[in-house]
Amino acid sequence: MGLFKNIFSSEKKETLDKGLEKSKTNFFSKLSKAVAGKSKVDDDVLDDLEEILVTSDVGVKTTIKIIERIENRVARDKYLGTDELNQILREEIAGLLSETNVGEATDFEIPKDKKPYVMMVVGVNGVGKTTTIGKLAYQLKKKGLKVVLGAADTFRAAAIDQLQVWADRVDIPIIKQDMGSDPASVAFDTLQSGVNQDADVIIIDTAGRLHNKVNLMNELTKVKRVMQKVIDDAPHDVLLVLDGSTGQNAFEQAKQFTAATEVTSLAVTKLDGTAKGGVVIGISDQFKIPVKYIGVGEGIEDLQVFNKYEFVDSFFK
């Protein structure tokens, strides 16, 4: 099928295949039970499939759309063998996701017309913001871009240290202040420094935990406003990081954040070691905001540019 052009490096594919292993094992063991002893995709199989998709964290809305597509196909083709079900799922889910085509990247790159390109990374605590920033900075630096980090999560001393560790690992500058200082002030300093250093990309880490949610959202708004004193259209990208291993919780967080603040892209982390990888299918179907990156491990190389076809291909194989 032409949809799955082999444009991906085999190494990337291997990491993805491995990362999705648990999700796949979970899905296919349920699916093989559901089709055991049945040769034809009938109403019972479809009922079971619906339940399996929902319990694999694809989400109810997206599951309904997938089932509808497969029902249409059954009506059209009259006889669909259960042995074809994987292939059909692959095709129909890829088809569904291609309907919400929101500018998909194929490589780590940033728009060239903004320099410095300012990214602000947001999300609740522990989802993988700092780690994602480190991995992303590494990839961008590999592309020859000059990257500067800003430690605007001043809520915990360890948060600043953790970003410092990544800056050292990637060997790039970091702008920071003491714990408890004003995050907006750190962001301001970082943007100024980035402009002075002629940086290509600035990535700002933010706190995921404050005394309450309203505080957090107010702070993010303030950080943005202060950035605009240095670069009037910054931030150019607000990247919301979601922990894929929390399944439906990741959905909820995406809903809440996108309602409270402007988010322009998504990263879904911790897809390795979870059986809830199906959540990415639901998120990329239901949010108008593109999933740009996925985290498939804790290592520096374990961030991938999300490609939905590749993902579906890996998942249903």
Ligand X SMILES: Nc1nc2c(ncn2[C@@H]2O[C@H](COP(=O)(O)OP(=O)(O)OP(=O)(O)O)[C@@H](O)[C@H]2O)c(=O)[nH]1
Q: Where do contacts with Mg ion occur on this chain (CB under 5 A)? A: 129-130, 159
Tell which one of 57, 91, 153, 189 touches ligand X (CB under 6 A).
Answer: 153
In whole angstroms, what is the distance from residue 246 CA to residue 28 CA?
20
Stretch that binds ligand X, among 24-32, 34-42, 89-97, 124-132 (CB under 6 A): 124-132
Least distance to ligand X, CB of residue 53, Å:
23
User: Amino acid identity of 128?
Assistant: G
Q: Which strands form 117-122's sheet, in the order they lie side by side? A: 174-175, 147-152, 201-206, 117-122, 237-243, 265-269, 291-295, 303-305
The partner in contact with residue 19, picked from Mg ion, ligand X, none with C-beta cut-offs of 5 to 8 angstroms by kind, is none
- Does residue 235 belong to the site contacting ligand X (CB under 6 A)? no
The partner in contact with residue 123, picked from Mg ion, ligand X, none with C-beta cut-offs of 5 to 8 angstroms by kind, is ligand X
Nearest residue relative to ligand X (C-beta): 295
- Residues 79 and 306: beta-carbon distance below 8 Å: no
Token representation of residue 71? 């029902």
- Does residue 277 belong to the site contacting ligand X (CB under 6 A)? no
Reduce the DSSP state of residue 194 to 3 states and report it: helix
Q: Where in 279-308 is the site for ligand X (CB under 6 A)?
A: 295-298, 302
107 CB burial (10 A radius; 0-12, 13-18, 19+) = exposed
Angle between helices 213-227 and 248-260 (to 10 degrees): 50
Label the pairing between strands 291-295 and 303-305.
antiparallel
Tell which one of 20, 127, 136, 230 touches ligand X (CB under 6 A).
Answer: 127
* Number of separate helices (H) and strands (E) present in the chain: 12, 8
- Does residue 270 belong to the site contacting ligand X (CB under 6 A)? yes
- Does residue 154 belong to the site contacting ligand X (CB under 6 A)? no
- Does residue 266 belong to the site contacting ligand X (CB under 6 A)? no
- Does residue 273 belong to the site contacting ligand X (CB under 6 A)? yes
- Does residue 137 belong to the site contacting ligand X (CB under 6 A)? no
Q: Judged by CB, which is closer to ligand X: 230, or 241?
A: 241
Tell which one of 130, 193, 253, 304 touches ligand X (CB under 6 A).
Answer: 130
Least distance to ligand X, CB of residue 262, Å:
19
Size of residue set near ligand X by CB under 6 A: 22
Token representation of residue 23? 């999700």
Least distance to ligand X, CB of residue 172, Å:
17
- Does residue 208 belong to the site contacting ligand X (CB under 6 A)? yes
Tell which one of 55, 86, 125, 286 touches ligand X (CB under 6 A).
Answer: 125
Q: Judged by CB, which is closer to Mg ion: 129, or 308?
A: 129
In whole angstroms, what is the distance from residue 69 CA to residue 123 CA?
33
How far the first Cα of the chain sits from its last, in Å, is 14
DSSP secondary structure code for residue 59 in this structure: -
In whole angstroms, what is the distance from residue 222 CA to residue 76 CA?
55
Tell which one of 12, 86, 105, 126 touches ligand X (CB under 6 A).
Answer: 126
Specify whether the backbone of 148 is left (phi greater than 0), alpha (psi in -120 to 50) or beta.
beta
Reduce the DSSP state of residue 155 to 3 states and report it: coil
The partner in contact with residue 183, picked from Mg ion, ligand X, none with C-beta cut-offs of 5 to 8 angstroms by kind, is none
The residues binding ligand X (CB under 6 A) are 123, 125-131, 153, 159, 162, 208-209, 269-270, 272-273, 295-298, 302
